[in-house]
Amino acid sequence: MNPHTSRAPGSAGPGGITTAPPAALGRAELSFPRALRAEWLKLTSLRLNWWLSLVALSMMLLTLLGTVLSTRAQLSDTAQQNSALQNSAAPLDGFTLFENVFSSFTLVTLLMGALAAVAITSEHSTGSIRSSLAAVPNRSMFFTAKLLAVCGFIAGLTAVLVALSFLVLLPLAGFYDVMPELLDPGLWWLVFSSWAAVIITASLGFGLGALLRSTAGAVITYCLLLFSGPIVLGLLLGISDGAQWVIELMRFEIFALQRQFIGGASMAGDLPPALAGALLLVWAGVVLIPGWLLLTRRDA
């Protein structure tokens, strides 16, 4: 027999040796790290995500610029008043300076929620969800890998915004002699909780994207979910003449939980930060769990 003659996979070769089929020679096993890496590559190749990241960076730069200008004006006025009164006490301290900037992270959650929603709705709008599920038939693995990739991307981007804030605020605070205590646990809790609140709240957008499959529907619903609570409860508070049950409800809407989680129970009646953070996770679970269930049970 001619040794160059091709044989079908599994047929006997010369000397009775059976040729193994190609799949048995080196089949790549599906694993969660592989699925996570694939989702990360898809996420970073989506151009809209980088545009949203640039908008978030621009928003932070504008916030920092406004903080620099307002701080300069405020401390200049304070210096003039102190000179007239021979009083060296300044009303603005370094911690307040950092609080003014990190309070803007609430707005960053809007962009990050949109980014998280697009990560899953783009799969449906382009039809790539079919090839994704063909590559990762385990839908729970696919959902978890994509969620972790999205949260990792948002965590990294938010960390960049935090680092940018420090690069601007530390020289500013040192120049005006209002440097905060860098080892103060309160300062680092402000930084960590602001970073974590962005990630947790943005995951709501991912869950809505899995539920609705529409970018416009998910983003609009996400914004309504964030803003309708304060508006509706504010109207109820006025109609009910400040009823106590409305005041209690106002502590549990998303923006209020963010403030209590970051601010550390700074106002009377505030929830403890740990409880506020846990309730933020509950809000995320209320949306993520139905999104996961629908993805695993309905047709792509």
pLDDT for 214 beyond 70:
yes
What integer is the mean pLDDT of 258-280?
83
Taking phi over 0 as left and psi of -120 to 50 as alpha, with beta for the rest, 3 belongs to: alpha
The H-assigned helical ranges of the chain are 22-26, 32-45, 47-85, 94-102, 105-126, 128-135, 139-175, 185-212, 215-239, 244-250, 254-263, 273-297
pLDDT for 92 beyond 80:
no
- Residue 300's pLDDT is what? 62
Cβ atoms 174, 191 nearer than 8 A: no
Report pTM. Answer: 0.80
Please list the residues that pair with 228 across neighbouring strands: none
**Residues making up the chain, counted from first to last:** 300
> Considering the chain, what percentage of its residues have pLDDT values greater than 70?
82
Q: Which of 142, 119, 123 is nearest to 35 (CA)?
A: 142
The per-residue DSSP string of 58-93 comes to HHHHHHHHHHHHHHHHHHHHHHHHHHHHT----S--
Cβ atoms 277, 196 nearer than 8 A: yes
> Considering the chain, what percentage of its residues have pLDDT values greater than 90?
34
pLDDT for 37 beyond 50:
yes
- Residue 100's pLDDT is what? 80
- Residue 127's pLDDT is what? 85
What are the extents of the domains in the chain? 32-74+92-297
- Please, which residues have CB within 8 angstroms of residue 243's CB and are 6 or more apart in sequence? 236, 237
Q: What are phi and psi of 12, to 5 degrees?
A: -80, 130
pLDDT for 83 beyond 70:
no
- Residue 159's pLDDT is what? 93
- Residue 266's pLDDT is what? 64
What integer is the mean pLDDT of 94-118?
85
Most confident of 131-135, 208-212, 225-229: 208-212
Kindly give the interhelix angle for 215-239 and 105-126, rounded to the nearest 10 degrees.
Answer: 140
Which one is predicted more confidently, 143 or 85? 143
pLDDT for 211 beyond 90:
yes
Most confident of 23-32, 109-118, 235-244: 109-118
Residue found by looking up tokens 């129970």 in the block: 265
- pLDDT averaged over the chain? 81
pLDDT-based confidence at residue 22 (cuts at 50, 70, 90): very low
pLDDT for 87 beyond 60:
no
Tokens of 154: 């948002």
What integer is the mean pLDDT of 163-176?
84
Query: In Å, what is the CA distance from 189 to each residue of 102, 109, 125, 251?
Result: 11, 18, 40, 20
- Please, which residues have CB within 8 angstroms of residue 155's CB and are 6 or more apart in sequence? 195, 199
pLDDT-based confidence at residue 39 (cuts at 50, 70, 90): very high
pLDDT-based confidence at residue 45 (cuts at 50, 70, 90): confident
Query: In Å, what is the CA distance from 39 to each residue of 26, 55, 142, 147, 213?
Result: 23, 23, 8, 9, 17
Please list the residues that pair with 18 across neighbouring strands: 12
